[in-house]
Structure 1
Amino acid sequence: MTERELQFIEYWEANRLREKKWQYQLMVGIPIGLLFSLPIIIIVFTGRYWYVRADMEANASLSPTLLIICVVIIAIFVAIFYKRHQWDMKEQQYRELKAREERENKEKDSVNGPVQH
């Protein structure tokens, strides 16, 4: 195994439980969630310049409070979903590396022969 893979195994064994918590996923993932949801606000507020009818409809039936609540909900969902997906990918990589490490250790033991006492 490479040095980088061994470092990843050490890191993931130390941090996997902390990164699995939804609070951590929310706090770390919120910038991505906001990057995903802020274009909605930009489109709604700049719509009057490029599509007048959409602006009239939005002003007639869209509550600013409801818009902000929806954007926050979208940001939270994307943040947690994104970080949870990253956690799953790291966990899968960790399990594959541990299986490979065990397989290499078994091969090394079989080459060296049984240990005699």
Structure 2
Amino acid sequence: MLTEKEEKFIVYWEKNRIAQKKNTKQFIIGLTMGLLIGFTTLVLIFSGWYIRATMVANSKLSPIVFLIAVIVLSVFIAFLNRKYKWEQYEQQYLELLAKKKKTDKQVQQKK
């Protein structure tokens, strides 16, 4: 038997699975995470926290290339985050459907 929470999830995911796959909210959340990682790296490099890394960054690192890398990394993390979340929910949905089918089959066999 499925719990009430599992039944609600099945109903919710049946209605929203296509919309969630194209949802930009998850992409924005992932983009925020990626930008946070990139800007944290920028702060650590330019704050002089690790002197040797700061010297190497200042001598060999082009700021434009680094900013492009941060943006590319952020978009990649956003895409990966969105895809991962959707796959998690889809896997849970398929497992619950299989469980429901199995319990329905067992109930029918008992009758």
Q: Compute the TM-score of the two structures, normalised by the length of structure 1.
A: 0.80
By how many angstroms is 1:54 displaced?
A: 2.6
Measure, in 2, the Cα distance between the counterparts of 1:37 and 1:22: 24
In structure 1, runs of 5+ residues without a counterpart are 113-117
Q: Compute the TM-score of the two structures, normalised by the length of structure 2.
A: 0.84
Matched letter for residue 54 of structure 1? A
CA RMSD of aligned residues (A): 1.9
Stretches (4+) displaced over 6 A = none
Q: Which residue of 2 aligns with 1:115?
A: none
By how many angstroms is 1:25 displaced?
A: 4.2
Name the count of aligned residue pairs: 110
Contact 1:36 1:78 in 2 (8 A): no
1:96-117 per-residue CA deviation (whole Å, 9 max, x = no partner) reads 10011111111122222xxxxx
Structure 1 segment 1-117 matched on structure 2, within 5 A = 1-21=2-22, 23=24, 25-46=26-47, 48-51=48-51, 53-112=52-111
By how many angstroms is 1:36 displaced?
A: 2.8
Quick check: which has more Rg, 1 or 2? 1
SS of the counterpart of 1:83? Answer: helix
Q: Highest relative contact order (Cα 8 Å, sep 6+), 1 or 2?
A: 2
Matched letter for residue 50 of structure 2? W
Measure, in 2, the Cα distance between the counterparts of 1:8 and 1:36: 32
Percent identity over the alignment is 35
1:3-52 per-residue CA deviation (whole Å, 9 max, x = no partner) reads 10011111111121122237554234222222333221122111x2431x
In structure 2, runs of 5+ residues without a counterpart are none
Matched letter for residue 100 of structure 1? K
Contact 2:27 2:81 in 1 (8 A): no
